[in-house]
């Protein structure tokens, strides 16, 4: 089994991105899975071009994209990606799409192909704060999530995929207000390792609208 897991490069004036810092620390093998780690740019279009190239090269069974959401307390598996861009700040190449669709021929939303409920249960049982999120925002993170699920729908139906948001690293939060939520990189990385484990063990347990699973 091949697992492709991505993390963004730093953006918004930060010197690190806890998403990729945590991805880098993952082992090369988790249970029966080979772990392929990839840094992608915080740039609209470029990030998904690189992601598609990596999928074609590595033939993954599972794709997990990871991004940073400042202010969140928990690791948050995302439930839904929406067909909408409204960037609050420019990306790393100055692009700032506003009030526009990601894919003109795509549906309004895609639901995750990850067992998000099982992921949260696995993380919490390991002492790692986790909760399902129902909004991935309208910036590059949501762009990647929606684009990945669009690719799965149109080109790679055998792949399961989705998106995970992680908090600030503690070193970042130390430079911000005293109430800023954070999590150590090692804990975030362990959370991603547990996420992959849950996806392997609950391959058929996908949350669908209405709160049921199949």
3 state SS of 50? helix
Residue from 47, 120, 122, 165 carrying the catalytic annotation: 165
Q: What distances in angstroms separate CA 143 from CA 84, 115, 131, 152, one per listed residue? A: 8, 20, 21, 14
CA dist., res. 22 & res. 194, Å (int): 12
CA dist., res. 130 & res. 73, Å (int): 8
CA dist., res. 212 & res. 214, Å (int): 7
CA dist., res. 155 & res. 64, Å (int): 17
Residue from 47, 65, 141, 199 carrying the catalytic annotation: 141
Please state the separation of Cα 184 from the chain's center in Å: 18
Residue 141 is a catalytic residue: yes
3 state SS of 66? strand
Residue from 21, 78, 122, 193 carrying the catalytic annotation: 78
Kindly report the backbone phi and psi dihedral angles of residue 102, in degrees, each rounded to the nearest multiple of 5, phi listed first. Answer: -80, -45
A 10 A CB-CB count for 79 gives 20
Residue 65 is a catalytic residue: no
Residue 165 is a catalytic residue: yes
Q: Which of 81, 147, 153, 156 has its CA nearest to residue 111? A: 81
Active site residues: 78, 141, 165
């Amino acid at each position: 089994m091949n697992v492709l897991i991505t993390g963004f490069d730093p953006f918004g004036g930060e010197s690190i991105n806890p998403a990729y810092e945590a991805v880098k620390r993952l082992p090369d093998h988790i249970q029966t899975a080979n772990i392929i780690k990839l840094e992608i740019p915080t740039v609209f279009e470029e990030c998904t071009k690189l992601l598609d190239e990596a999928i074609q090269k590595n033939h993954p069974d599972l794709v997990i994209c990871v991004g940073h959401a400042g202010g969140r307390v928990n690791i948050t598996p995302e439930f839904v990606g929406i067909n909408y861009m409204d960037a609050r700040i420019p990306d790393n190449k100055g692009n700032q799409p506003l009030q526009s669709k990601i894919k003109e021929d795509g549906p309004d939303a895609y639901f995750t192909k990850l067992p998000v409920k099982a992921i949260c249960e696995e993380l919490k049982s390991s002492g790692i704060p986790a909760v399902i999120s129902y909004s991935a925002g309208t910036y590059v993170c949501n762009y990647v999530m929606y684009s990945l699920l669009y690719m799965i729908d149109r080109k790679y139906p055998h792949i399961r995929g989705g998106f995970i948001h992680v908090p600030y690293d503690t070193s970042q939060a130390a430079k911000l207000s005293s109430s800023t939520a954070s999590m150590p990189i090692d804990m975030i990385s362990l959370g991603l390792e547990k996420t992959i484990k849950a996806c392997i063990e609950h391959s058929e347990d996908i949350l669908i609208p209405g709160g049921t699973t199949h």
